[in-house]
Amino acid sequence: MKSSASVLLACISLLLACGKERISFNSFREIALPSGDDPTAVWFSDSLNGVICGGKAWESGMIYSSSDGGQSWQVDTLLDRKMEHVSFDSRGRAYVCGQDQLLIREPGQAQWQVLRTDFQWLRCAHFPTEKYGATVGGEGFHGGRLHVFGPNAFWQQDTLHDIDGELDAVWYADSTTLLAAGAGWVIRSTDAGKSWERLRIENDIFTAIHFPTSQTGYLCGNQGSLYKTMNGGASWTKLRQGGSTGARHKPFRALWFKDADTGWLVGDNGIFWQTNDGGDTWKSIENAPSDADFTDIFWIGNQGWATARGGRLFRMMNDE
Distance (Å, whole) CA 75 – CA 62? 7
For the stretch 71-98, pLDDT in tens is 999 999 999 999 999 999 999 999 999 9
> Could you give the angle at the alpha carbon of 294 between the alpha carbons of 290 and 295, nearest 5°?
170
Q: Is residue 75, in this structure, part of any structural domain at all?
A: yes
121 found inside a domain:
yes
DSSP state of 179: E
* Residues contacting 212, CB < 8 A, separation 6+: 257, 258, 259, 260, 263
In a domain, 44, yes or no: yes
- Secondary-structure breakdown of the chain: helix, strand, coil percentages, each rounded to the nearest 5: 5, 50, 45
Q: Which domain holds residue 117?
A: 31-129
In a domain? residue 192: no
Residue 185 covered by a domain? no
Residue 90 within any structural domain of the chain = yes
Q: Residue 37: inside a domain, yes or no?
A: yes
DSSP string, 123-136: EEEEEEETTEEEEE
| Type of residue at 183 | A
Structurally, the chain folds into a number of domains equal to: 1
pLDDT digits (tens, 9 = 90+) for 137-184: 998 777 788 999 987 656 666 677 888 889 999 999 999 999 999 998
SS3 (DSSP) at 4? helix
Can you give the pTM of this predicted structure?
0.90
Intra-chain end-to-end CA distance of the chain, in Å: 55
2 pLDDT band, cuts 50/70/90, is very low
Residue pLDDT, tens place only, 274-309: 999 999 999 999 999 999 999 999 999 999 999 999
Domain-located, residue 69: yes
Domain of 51: which CATH number?
2.40.10.500
Query: With contact defined as beta carbons under 8 Å apart, do 196 and 161 qualify?
Result: yes
